[in-house]
Amino acid sequence: MLISLDWLKQYVDIKEDIKELENTLTMIGQEVEAIEEQGKELAKVVIGQITEYGKHPEAEKLTLLKVNIGEEEELQIVCGAPNHKLGDKVVVATIGAVLPGDFKIKKSKIRGVESQGMLCSEVELGLGNDGDGIIILPEDAPLGVEYRVYKKLNDVIFELEITPNRPDCLSYIGIAREIAAYYGRKIKCPEFESKKIIESINTGHIDVRIEDKERCKRFSGKVIKNIKVQESPEWLKNRLISMGLKPINNVVDATNYILFECNQPLHAYDLTKINDRKIIVRKSLNGEKIVTLDGVERELNKGELIIADAEKPLGIAGIMGGESSKVTEETTEIFLECAYFTPENIRKTSKELGLSSDSSYRFERGLDIENTAEVLERAADLISQLTGGEVLEGCIDKYIEKYEKIEIPLNIEKLRKFMGKNIEIDVVGKILTNLGINIKTLNSTTIIATPPSYRGDLTRTADLYEEIIRMYGFDNIENKMPEENIRPGVKDSMTVVVDEAKEILAKLGLQEVINYSFISKDAIKMLGITEPTLEITNPISDDMAVMRPTLIYSLLSNVRDNLNRNQNGLRFFEVSRVFTPKEDGLANETLRTSIALAGKTFKTLWDPKPEAMDFYTLKGFVEKFLEYMGVTRYQLDRSEDNNFHPGRSADIRIGKVKIGTFGEIHPELAENMDIKRERAYVAELDLTTLLNYRAKKVKYERIVKYPEVTRDLAVVLDRDVLVGKMLEDIKKSSNLIESVAIFDVYQGEKIEADKKSVAISIVLRKKDGTLEESDINITVDKILKLIAKNYNGEIRQ
């Protein structure tokens, strides 16, 4: 929002300098983003008069002039412009002036004759496009006065960042209210009295009907006759230019002026162009078209709120008027509209049409519904003055939904506690009154505040706290710690688990990745997920259309992107939530842990040929993670998940409950994911379910002082026997067995084709004494019988 200091002074007395005013505006919540001091480049540019006129002795097209700038000594100036004569009042850039473009005026010689300044054109001063001749001023232009002062080009423009909850500050009166409230001054609202004629507006001049009462809550209008549309006066054009607008004509410029003055959009219709003199506020018909004031034809297909006459649309309500009824130089009578349209409707329509304006910007944020009739009178008076028009007696005012005042209680003791300041009730009352808030005392500690209609952001006690504090001044509140016992917060149990899981995985040498919780519908098809998923109603993009039911796709995407960038030895993990739909339409959230590996182990000086990571590398990470998480009782079964390679993947189960799957991804999935250079291995564990099986207590076992005994067995088994289950059974068969591990698997010519030889190392130890040979033999025999009976195995000969 741009604010001209010169214009602002019309509504409130401002004695402060620019820096102090900037600080004040910022501290009361109207942040100053930038300040432009206009006319800086026009210093030492003054008004002069040509007192002597002659030709340059060495150049026919140049003139040699004497120019009086109100000082004792006249200036000798050489000029090349063709449009000046003796006695003209002109604009003189004196020696030392620095014009736009860093053009410095110096004493110089032109064709051998000294020149002590320069007569200026609009282009040279950066004020226009006319560079054919110098500026010729009226005869009454004051001699010696700076040109920027004479043309009021020495204004200061503040650029303010107005927050969305304060649409009332998108106007000069709104900002003036804020300054007046802070300094305890009075607002100088414009006085007006239109030139009215006896004829009433209700005598058939215009008929207004509101069909869409949900989106148009108030519609006010006046008729002005016998107007003369022409160029606006200089003061009005300067005001609009300071706001970055291009002047059009006196009627349109007046409505724009009132928009910035009062924060109320208006629109003027050529009354003769309104069919049957009927104004209808309705929703658009499907396929209805309108050419808006920007010259673009727009098709309306979504029931947009429009202003129409008996035959056609005249404008898109609250956003932009139409070409068909615009005010031109031929216009002699107008219908002036001032309305209230609901913010939600304007936001939606503006977005759908891709059309925004100063009016829609304000309607979107919510305006003062109580103010339309008063603003209409002010605008009619201004247009009447500018055009010589006559305003018909009365006003059409269709007020559908009346504004209801709200009362907000304010307890002074609670306010003091909140502020940390013993503020007096009289000071609070004065601050609220200065802000236009009506107050009444309920008792010695409580008052009732009633905000004005233009402060729609004030709805609760906390809002009043904010108003009081910002007007009291943040600098007036000392830094003071609250006198309350503040206990440190306690982490949520699941947060503790997540932090623990992340710490374990990071210490295992994995790198954490953080992905979005959304994936594409194509990803769901690629993973072959047939269960219901949670789709986003209005996704940011097609790649973020579904809440992910698994972490696998995200991690594989990370693997692919890193491999494509020549990164190797990838070791990723992610701990996050996955989502599935509930019957009530909400999300069921489950915590998962996922690991992804690809590429080779890291090269070292003593190991220059790193090996590729494989299923067993991943298995090691998974087993260590489970161990550190306190889950030790589980079994591995061959996985049948279609996303994993058959025979190179396993499900992790505790009893009949599956808590995760890990292994090499299926070649088809790798191809679909465009992972070509390396094999990728992924694990995904249900952390929420896994927590139910953690060891609640960690038991300490004293180190056994008795020696261990190792026995190695080579057992011949059928090729399809899963050795992992056999190892578990062996471990459980005797309390003397400390550990069981495979150290070799052989398949080849020396055994049958459908067999394999598995070499097992068994560590035996007695906790309360040294093992006897008989104990060892009994245990080994028991193991061999178990293998023979349950797995059809025998000792390799």
H-type helices in 243-342, by residue range? Answer: 250-262
Q: Please enumerate, by residue number, every residue annotated as part of a binding site.
A: 457, 463, 466-467
Strand 570-581 and strand 511-512: the pairing is parallel
Mean pLDDT by 10 residues, the chain (797 residues): 92 93 92 86 92 91 93 92 92 92 90 93 82 90 91 86 92 96 92 73 85 95 94 90 89 96 95 94 94 94 94 95 94 96 95 94 94 94 93 92 93 91 91 94 90 94 94 86 71 89 96 96 93 91 94 96 92 96 86 95 67 92 94 88 93 93 96 92 95 80 89 92 87 92 89 91 92 93 93 88
Q: Specify which residues 740 forms β-bridges with.
A: 762
Cα first-last separation, the chain: 94
Please give the structure tokens belonging to residue 597: 């590996």
Distance CA 203, CA 426 (A): 53
pLDDT tens digits, 616-638: 999 999 999 999 999 988 888 88
Q: Are 173 and 369 spatial neighbours (Cβ–Cβ below 8 Å)? A: no
Backbone phi and psi for residue 674, each to the nearest 5 degrees, phi listed first: 65, 40
Q: Are 458 and 464 spatial neighbours (Cβ–Cβ below 8 Å)? A: yes
Please give the structure tokens belonging to residue 768: 């309360």
Q: At what angle do helices 172-183 and 250-262 cross, to 10 degrees?
A: 30
Residue with tokens 């028009």: 389
User: What is the pLDDT at residue 347?
Assistant: 95
Q: How many residues does the chain have?
A: 797
Distance CA 380, CA 393 (A): 11
Other C-beta atoms lying within 10 Å of the C-beta of residue 409: 13
User: What is the pLDDT at residue 722?
Assistant: 81
Domains of the chain, first to last: 2-38+155-183 (3.30.56.10), 40-150 (2.40.50.140), 196-399 (3.50.40.10), 408-472 (3.30.56.10), 493-693 (3.30.930.10), 709-795 (3.30.70.380)
pTM metric for this prediction: 0.59
pLDDT tens digits, 198-234: 678 877 789 999 999 999 999 999 999 999 999 999 8
User: What is the pLDDT at residue 187?
Assistant: 93
Q: Which of 367, 354, 62, 386 is nearest to 248 (CA)?
A: 386
Distance CA 522, CA 524 (A): 5
Q: Where are the beta strands (DSSP E) in 412-553?
A: 438-441, 446-450, 511-512, 518-519, 534-535, 546-547
Other C-beta atoms lying within 10 Å of the C-beta of residue 246: 9
User: What is the pLDDT at residue 189?
Assistant: 87
Q: Specify which residues 216 forms β-bridges with.
A: 341
Q: Are 587 and 556 spatial neighbours (Cβ–Cβ below 8 Å)? A: no
User: What is the pLDDT at residue 607?
Assistant: 62
CB contact set of 408 (below 8 Å; sequence gap of 6+): 448, 449, 450, 451, 458, 459, 460, 461, 463, 464
User: What is the pLDDT at residue 484?
Assistant: 67
Q: Are 515 and 486 spatial neighbours (Cβ–Cβ below 8 Å)? A: no
Half-sphere exposure of 251 (CA within 13 A, CB side): 27
Q: Looking at this protein, which amino acid is placed at residue 20?
A: E
CB contact set of 504 (below 8 Å; sequence gap of 6+): 625, 628, 629
Q: Please enumerate, by residue number, every residue annotated as part of a binding site for Mg(2+).
A: 457, 463, 466-467
Distance CA 464, CA 256 (A): 32
Strand 438-441 and strand 635-638: the pairing is unpaired
Backbone phi and psi for residue 558, each to the nearest 5 degrees, phi listed first: -65, -40
